[in-house]
Amino acid sequence: MIRRFRVLVLTFACFFAWHAHVQAAAVASAHPLATDAGIEVLDKGGNAFDAAVAVTATLAVVEPYSSGIGGGGFWLLHLSSENRDVMLDGRERAPLAAERDMYLDQHGDLIPGASIDGPLSAGIPGVPAAIEHLSSKYGKLPLSVTLEAAIRYARQGFTTDSHYQRMAGFREDALRASTDAAAIFLKNNKAPEPGSVIRQPDLATTLSIIAREGARGFYQGELARRLVDSVVRNGGIWSMEDLASYRVVEREPVKGVFRGMQIVSAAPPSSGGIALIQMLNMLEGFDRATLTEAQRIHLLAEVMRRAYRDRAEFLGDTDFVSVPVNRLVSKKYADRLAAGIKLDAATPSDALTPVAVGTQKASDTTHFSIIDDDGNRVAATLSINFPFGSGFVAAGTGVLLNDEMDDFSSKPGEPNVYGLVGAEANAIEPGKRMLSSMSPSFLETDDRIAVLGTPGGSRIITMVLLAALAFHEGGDAQAMVDRGRFHHQYLPDKIIAEPSVFSAKLMRALSDLGHQIQLLDSSYGNMHVIVQQKESGKLDAASDRRGGGEALVDSGSVASP
Ligand code: DON
């Protein structure tokens, strides 16, 4: 579905910036109010990290079905003064009272909905800790400034659109089950018509507490007490210790090189960076220019299939399980995997060494990209998992809780309610982070840099792969975002594709190669990309036409109109 799309170049000054070798700044996010909040902070003298705080918090308010203060995410940072990349891991953790079989009944069967609806499905949020960390360690402005827009929109309200109505409609039952969620996000217990105003005074107060006291105001004291009381009263298992002991973790991103293009992407507990680099490594052994179009797509499906098989078997939280990261991203290992790819026939997934894995349905999540005029960069993918997360708002706090616990394998080896199966590596353990597909990434060639990412569940990684290939072929931000999308994830053994990416002729050719193809009813993903020319500093940014976001390039020297 195509929604409103805007790219605004705020000022013609970027043309002069290009000639004068002056850098500009850019923000691309899933909501115009969030992009504007980021630009506002840059114009106040903040850097990319301050802008990231503003965008994160504003998205939490105006795109409540995608991410939030009660959720988590990964912020990939490039610190230009140190020429260093770091990943902030603000992923949710399983509560300390979590048990491996907590979503199973006495017969060992999965309890429908238990890991998706209500506070039992919620991991311990990471966003408040990440916001403070970003601000205090890397930012220049206080939280009172960077959280201002989010607090304003929470208090004054924001206007809903048809996408909001669809998302709230999809989660109406879960939202109705929570008194506070129904009062905030529904109107008369129903998904509101487009044009309705959603005010979140309790969330404004919560954000003001974070602005004043930092993360401590959320994870300790009165607010923490309210969160825990409400969760426990409604069947959840959070404790004060869970909140007090939550820590954001700085991790080394995973890195790779594909034909001269450097890739920096999310490390575990995301599977994204590893799978992305594995797929590119496998592709490196083939001369794609000599292949037919059908063979090129076939080849991509084959590398996707193999990377997703490994994801299912090996990946989990590296603080709890050992993941052979170096081996998985090595060229040698990729060569071995690629040797099994036949250009004239699909490899049935069940011909690969078996692991138990299933489909992971796309639900909701968000991504934004920022570059500032010092060359600092942020690629952040944030989530509360399903649309409106668990649907549960802790009483009196305005905090909508995630249902990220569903990203664990609730019963290793068997599909959960959403068909998701995983291995031991991603089994539930107290304090463990659930495996993610979120893949905020940087790409760099001799002359250009790209900052990118997207929501889309297990399809995130293949979307980033297709965009990375478009960039490597010379495509600009718009071309990367526009590229038609298709996906293979090992099991189910089929290529799924956006409605119009394959012609009838191509479908026949792929089917002759042995592929099963499923065309989806609608497009997917919501990618936000910024591309910078290294020599001139010139920026170009694009927000996915499939979503309602906004990409802005700002010279920084001229105020927004
Ligand atoms: O972390 C993950 O992989 C999932 N919670 C992301 C879910 C998602 O992207 C849904 N987006 N449409």
Structural domain count, the chain: 2
If one residue of 276, 363, 458 were mutated to test the ligand 1 pocket, choosing by the most ligand atoms within 8 A of its CB, it would be 363
Q: What is the pLDDT of residue 23?
A: 57
In this structure, which amino acid lies at residue 489? Q
Confidence class for position 419, pLDDT limits 50, 70, 90 = very low
Give residue 521's domain range. 251-360+439-549
Does pLDDT of 349 surpass 70? yes
Q: How far is the CA of 282 from the centre of ligand 1 (A)?
A: 25
Confidence class for position 12, pLDDT limits 50, 70, 90 = very low
Question: Is residue 424, in this structure, part of any structural domain at all?
Answer: no
Judgement on whether residues 200 and 282 belong to the same structural domain of the protein: no
If one residue of 361, 365, 368 were mutated to test the ligand 1 pocket, choosing by the most ligand atoms within 8 A of its CB, it would be 365
Does pLDDT of 355 surpass 50? yes
Judgement on whether residues 226 and 261 belong to the same structural domain of the protein: no
If one residue of 437, 458, 522, 523 were mutated to test the ligand 1 pocket, choosing by the most ligand atoms within 8 A of its CB, it would be 437
Q: How far is the CA of 555 from the centre of ligand 1 (A)?
A: 33
Length of the chain: 561
Question: Is residue 86, in this structure, part of any structural domain at all?
Answer: yes
- Quick check: helix, strand or coil at residue 256? strand
Give yes or no for a contact between 29 and 543, defined as CB atoms under 8 angstroms apart: yes
Give yes or no for a contact between 489 and 458, defined as CB atoms under 8 angstroms apart: yes
Does pLDDT of 365 surpass 80? yes
Greater model confidence, 3 or 258: 258
Ligand 1: which atom is nearest the Cα of residue 455?
9
Judgement on whether residues 125 and 182 belong to the same structural domain of the protein: yes
Give yes or no for a contact between 100 and 46, defined as CB atoms under 8 angstroms apart: no
Q: What mean pLDDT do residues 111-136 have?
A: 97
Q: Would you give the end-to-end CA distance of the chain in angstroms? A: 30
Judgement on whether residues 61 and 191 belong to the same structural domain of the protein: yes
Q: What mean pLDDT do residues 287-308 have?
A: 97
Question: Is residue 428, in this structure, part of any structural domain at all?
Answer: no
Q: Which of 348, 381, 404 is where one domain is finished?
A: 404
* 35 classed as catalytic: no
Mean pLDDT estimate for the chain: 92
In 233-359, DSSP assigns E strands to 249-251, 254-258, 261-265
In this structure, which amino acid lies at residue 440? P
Give yes or no for a contact between 276 and 270, defined as CB atoms under 8 angstroms apart: no
- Kindly name the residue from 35, 58, 206, 365 that is annotated as catalytic: 365
In this structure, which amino acid lies at residue 191? A
Measured CA to CA, the distance from residue 167 to residue 153 in angstroms comes to 20
Confidence class for position 6, pLDDT limits 50, 70, 90 = very low
Give yes or no for a contact between 66 and 525, defined as CB atoms under 8 angstroms apart: no
How far is CA 174 from each of CA 60, 358, 403, rounded to the nearest angstrom?
A: 19, 24, 11
Judgement on whether residues 46 and 137 belong to the same structural domain of the protein: yes
Question: Is residue 555, in this structure, part of any structural domain at all?
Answer: no
Q: What is the pLDDT of residue 411?
A: 78
Give yes or no for a contact between 124 and 95, defined as CB atoms under 8 angstroms apart: yes
Neighbours of 515 (CB within 10 A): 20
What is the CATH number for 342? Answer: 1.10.246.130
Question: Is residue 556, in this structure, part of any structural domain at all?
Answer: no
Judgement on whether residues 239 and 263 belong to the same structural domain of the protein: no
Judgement on whether residues 326 and 470 belong to the same structural domain of the protein: yes
Element (H, E) at 550: strand 550-554
Q: What mean pLDDT do residues 202-216 have?
A: 98
Q: What mean pLDDT do residues 523-539 have?
A: 96
Q: How far is the CA of 454 from the centre of ligand 1 (A)?
A: 9
Q: What mean pLDDT do residues 18-22 have?
A: 36
Confidence class for position 110, pLDDT limits 50, 70, 90 = confident
Q: Which of 380, 404, 428 is where one domain is finished?
A: 404
Measured CA to CA, the distance from residue 434 to residue 313 in angstroms comes to 14
Pocket of ligand 1 (CB under 6 A): 362-365, 383, 385, 404, 407, 436-438, 455-457, 460
Does pLDDT of 513 surpass 50? yes
Give yes or no for a contact between 43 and 560, defined as CB atoms under 8 angstroms apart: yes
Confidence class for position 203, pLDDT limits 50, 70, 90 = very high
Measured CA to CA, the distance from residue 424 to residue 259 in angstroms comes to 35
Burial class (CB in 10 A: 0-12, 13-18, 19+), 144: exposed
Question: Is residue 430, in this structure, part of any structural domain at all?
Answer: no
Question: Is residue 558, in this structure, part of any structural domain at all?
Answer: no
Tell me the whole-structure pTM to 2 decimals: 0.94
Nearest CA-CA partner of 542 in 436, 450, 438: 450
Helix then strand then coil, in percent of the chain rounded to 5, is 35, 20, 45
Share of the chain above pLDDT 90, in %: 87
Q: What is the pLDDT of residue 81?
A: 97
